[in-house]
Amino acid sequence: MERTRVIDTDELLSIRAAELYYEENKTQDEIGTLLRLTRWKVGRLLAQAKASGFIRIEIVHPRARRLSVERRLREATGLTDAIVVSSAGVAGDEELQSRTAQAAADYLTGLRPVPRTLGISWGRTLHEVALHLKQGWAHGVNVVQINGGVSLNRRAGTAAATAVNIAHKAAGAATLLPSPAILERLETKQAIESDRAVAAVLNLATAASAYLFSAGQADEFSALVDSGYLTAEQVAELVRKGAVGDIVGRYIDSNGNIVDPELDGRTVGIQLEQLRQAKTAIAVIAGTSKHAIARAIVGSGLCTVLVTDEDTALAILGDEA
Amino acid sequence: MERTRVIDTDELLSIRAAELYYEENKTQDEIGTLLRLTRWKVGRLLAQAKASGFIRIEIVHPRARRLSVERRLREATGLTDAIVVSSAGVAGDEELQSRTAQAAADYLTGLRPVPRTLGISWGRTLHEVALHLKQGWAHGVNVVQINGGVSLNRRAGTAAATAVNIAHKAAGAATLLPSPAILERLETKQAIESDRAVAAVLNLATAASAYLFSAGQADEFSALVDSGYLTAEQVAELVRKGAVGDIVGRYIDSNGNIVDPELDGRTVGIQLEQLRQAKTAIAVIAGTSKHAIARAIVGSGLCTVLVTDEDTALAILGDEA
DNA sequence: CGCCCGGTTGCTCAGATGAGCAAGATTTCA
DNA sequence: TGAAATCTTGCTCATCTGAGCAACCGGGCG
């Protein structure tokens, strides 16, 4: 900290002017009289104060977005769209996730063209997005799961419920993927994928007109560990190999590459290439623990649209301060 | 927390409008086109957003003051003047004290009429005020100490140095009060007060045209404990009797009354009545631990001017939130 | 069925503000 | 020192914005 920085007279004046302008809402003219300056000088001081960052304007509201950050994200990453919710005055990660989910629901509702088929993953975040969607948010959107996980999930049915909920609220049908997320043996996985019922769903998923998914961090709190697909040790091993998190059940490193091809081979769901080639792939990611995976996803083109919180967005932009 | 509060359409619109206005700085007209509203509606939405408190404007600068809080303080307490420094983006109490001391120095520099004799107390805060004063801040201001404490002070001379420093920078003379702050026996105190040298200083102090002083909290970290005048146990006992802190060495309760008349009788310095009757009595008080004593001082008319930090000011106003 | 009333909308108009320009002040460098 | 270069100042003018007003809308009530 530079304790002894020189503060020149104009800087002080600009602060006095700002106080009178923003706190006392006097006109620049009145301030001019008070400080014995012309009103033009006051205007310039004010502009200077803004430019130096002494004036901070925050919009404090759960639905507030950070348009300037969104713009920077779009420009820096080539995303089609970026939605960044403000974290001003937020207590914890939970509130942040809720706000982000709300924003994702809003985005989905306003999405044009309306997707005929929407491929979705499952998890806490997606579940919350479903909750925030309003009845009738669209008409005739069919929903299809893009990765396995229904049966083994501890709170059985959350994954299915998410898909059904989203479809129902859009007066469409839900198609579930009746398969575990990860199988123990490659042969089992190949067998299940060749099953007509499963193959049909995967084909539908591959042909979806838009995707909506979240991502998980790579640690012992991951949903895949929680659901019993992986042990904490297995995840720790993946981390050693460079994993930063998972997306549709597949663990990737910071460059967006599959970390463990063998494991990946046993994972049921669409391929990452599908997401990379999709015209609309919406990633919804919030919370401090997901900065790394968010960065990896955006950096490697796994989504075209990112819905996230301000801190995650700034982490992606490399703006730690 | 009300999670399910209804957010009406206008509220959401006003947030969108605010984002475009403050973050993207578009004109109200442009926003109107974007949101399919007339520019008047946009203006009203913006006004509504401000009125609802969704727009927060902060001036982030070490020298920034909170004029609105100052005004409220003046109105609520009848103070002649109130100076409140912003605590926006402040790390710890130390930074807060430094800012407040700076503000006190500024106030003193601008004080009119310039006092011929300035009565001051001593302590960490006053020392820092002295440091922040600029060479030549006034011409011919004489400084006189208003309470004892020179000799016993651990870092001997700080108290004296403060007075000398302030006087020197104003091309004036310093008069020191050559006495301990508190004496062990009443007789000793009476003896020392009747000594010609001491009596003369006290007379001068009583006749000062303005006073500048700080205050101490009542706990084991008090400067009087630190200097060896009182033990931690004695202070604890004072607290039991209702003490919230000390001012010019005298402990008062939340109503501004002397807590322990016996102890007070052994304390050397001007009487609190002197401060109450003074035309200009400037109190400089900063930090979370001093909220109670600040409140007591202001509430009981012990100062005409208060220089403090935002949190302390809000505590005095009863605005915890 | 018509009327009244609170609330909202679009507008006029005056005051507030920012962009751009030319004159004046200050610094820099030969 | 002198002159060029740069910065600062005060100004004009066009635009932006808020106050206040009249018209309008929707619903309750006689």
Domains of chain B, residue spans: 2-51, 67-316
Q: Which residues of A touch B88 (CB under 8 A)?
A: 56
User: What is the separation, in whole angstroms, between the first and last Cα of chain B?
Assistant: 14
Answer yes or no: is pLDDT of B1 > 50.
no
Q: Which residues of B touch A66 (CB under 8 A)?
A: 23
* Mean per-residue pLDDT, A293-320: 95
- A35: exposed, middle or buried (Cβ count in 10 Å: 0-12, 13-18, 19+): middle
User: Which pLDDT does position A228 carry in this prediction?
Assistant: 83
Q: What are phi and psi of A140, to 5 degrees?
A: 75, 40
User: Which pLDDT does position B2 carry in this prediction?
Assistant: 45
CB A21 within 8 A of CB A44: no
Q: How far is the C-alpha of B184 from the C-alpha of A77, rounded, in Å?
A: 74
Using an 8 Å CB-CB cutoff, list residues of chain A that contact chain B: 7, 11-12, 15, 18-20, 22-24, 49, 53-68, 88
Tell me, yes or no, if the two domains B2-51 and B67-316 fold the same way.
no
* Mean per-residue pLDDT, A219-243: 91
The continuous run of DSSP H or E covering B291 comes out as helix B291-299
User: Under the phi-then-psi rule, with left for phi > 0, alpha for psi from -120 to 50, and beta for the rest, what region is A228?
Assistant: left
Nearest CB to A57: which of B22, B61, B63?
Answer: B22
Structure tokens at B290: 């001093």
Distance between A54 CA and the closest CA of chain B, angstroms? 5
Residue-wise pLDDT for A71-121, tens only, equals 999 999 999 999 999 998 888 899 999 999 999 999 999 999 999 999 999
Question: pTM of the full predicted structure?
Answer: 0.88
Which residue's C-alpha is at the least distance from the C1' of D15? B27
Nucleotide with minimal C1' distance from the CA of A40 is D10
Q: How far is the C-alpha of A215 from the C-alpha of B14, rounded, in Å?
A: 32
What CATH fold (topology level) applies to the domain B67-316? Answer: Rossmann fold (3.40.50)
Residue-wise pLDDT for B216-248, tens only, equals 999 988 888 888 889 999 999 999 999 999 999
User: Which pLDDT does position A90 carry in this prediction?
Assistant: 87
Residue-wise pLDDT for B55-113, tens only, equals 999 999 999 999 999 999 999 999 999 999 999 888 889 999 999 999 999 999 999 99
Q: Which residues of B touch A65 (CB under 8 A)?
A: 19
Structure tokens at B80: 């002649």
Q: How far is the C-alpha of A145 from the C-alpha of A317, rounded, in Å?
A: 31
Nearest CB to A23: which of B22, B61, B66?
Answer: B66
What CATH fold (topology level) applies to the domain B2-51? Answer: Arc Repressor Mutant, subunit A (1.10.10)
CB B118 within 8 A of CB B140: no
